[in-house]
Structure 1
Amino acid sequence: MDDTKVTVERLIPASTADIFDVLSNPQRHLELDGSGFIRSDQGAQRIKAVGDVFTMNMEGDHMGGEYQTDNHVTGYAENALLAWQTAPAGTQPPGWEWVWELAAQGPDSTLVRHTYDWSKVTDKDLLAKVKFPLVTEAQLEDTLVKLDEAVSG
């Protein structure tokens, strides 16, 4: 961990295709959420390309209760990479990004690396208001445990 990102990784006994299938479906993100902020997807379609946007229903004290996010896909490589920047619904992303990297370790084993990166946040008012990281390393590790359960179950 450095002062602008948190990265966790886990070896999951599943193929990159099976893991990517879960990650690229925002309707499954609630079951993966180790932070407890996600409530549901808002009619989200499967992620298919950079530039896609999916909306999630969220809840957290840091936003005063219920809110929505628009997630702008910034990285996409089938069975290898998914990344998106999150913003309050209807606004442009202020710079934090979620990155998923998948590396096959055999036909049924994948090293999953999950990064929460806020290094591109430059708004000084936002940096003063929001205490980064909003999601802890332990919560990210819990997300990987939940992903493991989702693809194994």
Structure 2
Amino acid sequence: MTGNADIPRVVCAVRDIAASADQIFELIADPAQQPRWDGNSNLGGAADGQRVRAVGEVFTMTTTSGNIRENHVVEFEEGRRIAWMPADAGSAPAGHLWRWELTPIDAWHTRAIHTYDWTALTDQNRLQRAMATTTVMLRASLDRLADLAEHQR
């Protein structure tokens, strides 16, 4: 990775959303909802009934290219925080992490922080895509999520 030392390995975006933390969390913790707000436009779909409820769970997604991705939940606090590490089907996680943190501002407003952390990623085949994942992409996910949550009331 010579020459890439200046590329941040942790990127995040923040947005205040006019919806409750619980309402937003439901959209994040239900994998079937994720393609609706994915700012990377690489999630094709997920089966219903995989709503995440605890660390250690694994939910499965299909990418737009048809690959199966197993997402290992490594952080979980109902209504507040969820993080997962993606892996190819049947493999260990590759070393990158997606995290969502929600902090209620009041009953109908929430600060959402979306983070992509690839500090532990060593798979050379994934480095190019990891380097291309920017705050702009994370912000796109936040904006799409906000649009969904704010219009569900």
Fold match (TM-score > 0.5): yes
TM-score by length of 1: 0.88
TM-score by length of 2: 0.88
CA shift, 1:77, in A, is 0.3
CA shift, 1:42, in A, is 3.7
Judge conservation of contact 1:42–1:57 (CA < 8 Å) in 2.
no
Q: Which runs of 5+ in 2 are unaligned?
A: 1-5
Alignment of 1:1-153 (within 5 A): 3-43=8-48, 45-59=50-64, 65-121=65-121, 123=122, 126-127=123-124, 130-131=127-128, 132-153=130-151
Q: Which runs of 5+ in 1 are unaligned?
A: 60-64
1:61-93 CA-to-partner distances (Å, cap 9, x unmatched) read: xxxx43110000001001110000001111110
CA shift, 1:130, in A, is 2.4
Instruction: Give the whole-Å Cα distance in 1 for the aligned partners of 2:125 and 2:50.
Output: 34
Q: Aligned pair count?
A: 145
The CA RMSD measured in Å over matched residues stands at 1.7
CA shift, 1:112, in A, is 0.1
SS at match of 1:113: strand
Instruction: Give the whole-Å Cα distance in 1 for the aligned partners of 2:150 and 2:119.
Output: 33
SS at match of 1:9: strand
Q: Aligned AA for 1:28?
A: Q
Instruction: Give the whole-Å Cα distance in 1 for the aligned partners of 2:116 and 2:149.
Output: 21
Identity between Structure 1 and Structure 2 (%): 30
Query: Structure 1: which 4+ aligned runs deviate by more than 2 Å?
Result: 127-130, 132-136
